[in-house]
A = this chain, B = another copy of it.
Amino acid sequence: METKNISTGHSKESFIEKARRAQIMECAIETIAERGFAQASIGQIAKRAGISKGVVSYHFSSKEELMHHIVTALYVDGAAFMSRIAEETTPASMLRSYIETNLAFIGAHKQHVAAVMEIVWNARTEDGKLLYAKPANDAILVPLEAIIRWGQEEGSFRAFSEFGARVMAMTIRNAIDRAGSLLADPAFDIEAYTLEMATLFDLATRRQPD
């Protein structure tokens, strides 16, 4: 199976090409995570990589393209990581797995997640619109909503209006996403956080006793 690159004019990637792109992306991630999107100039990134600014432009046709690759790479990694969720057999365990798996992924990719959050909430088009962040009906909510509806139909979750399912999905997603920022604090206990989160949303979703 072949993966196509966003066209940079290079149909093939040599080893050096790949290494350089990886190096630049890594340094960009570190810079964005540490200093924020706005402060992550190409110059800063290049300096951290110990290369000249021109190299960055050589390997990525624009800053925007570099950012796009950083975002995409995280989504690709994430998708692979998340596959285990689908193995769960009940809505409640799947929801718990969703929370645990996502937080585990975030814990394992602190900087990359932090950088992508920065990009998603700050990268804009020339006319000022957010480039990545989308309104409430974001595709990222789809799997979550599916779990919730499954639980509802299957009876182990309480009754949700369509909008109620979406709000629940958004709230869960928000709680997960914001965990990314919290990880900057080295004292932050991600495992305890995961446990509390799982409990919270288990209670919030389960069918109530009569």
Contact = CB atoms under 8 A, between A and B. Distances in A.
Interface residues of A, number: 59
| A contact patch SS | helix
Contacts of A51: 5-6, 8
Contact of A4 (B1, B26, B35, B203): B26
A36 to B, nearest CB: 6
B185 A5 contact: no
Nearest to A203: B204
| Oligomer copy total | 4
A104 interface: no
Interface in A183-210: 184-185, 188-189, 192-193, 196-197, 199-201, 203-204, 208-209
A36 B124 contact: yes
Nearest to A209: B209
Contacts of A86: none
Nearest to A52: B8
30 contacts: A1-B47, A2-B48, A3-B47, A3-B48, A3-B49, A3-B50, A4-B48, A5-B49, A6-B8, A6-B19, A6-B50, A8-B51, A36-B122, A36-B128, A38-B122, A39-B128, A135-B182, A135-B185, A136-B182, A161-B196, A164-B196, A167-B200, A170-B175, A170-B178, A171-B171, A171-B175, A171-B197, A174-B178, A203-B204, A209-B209
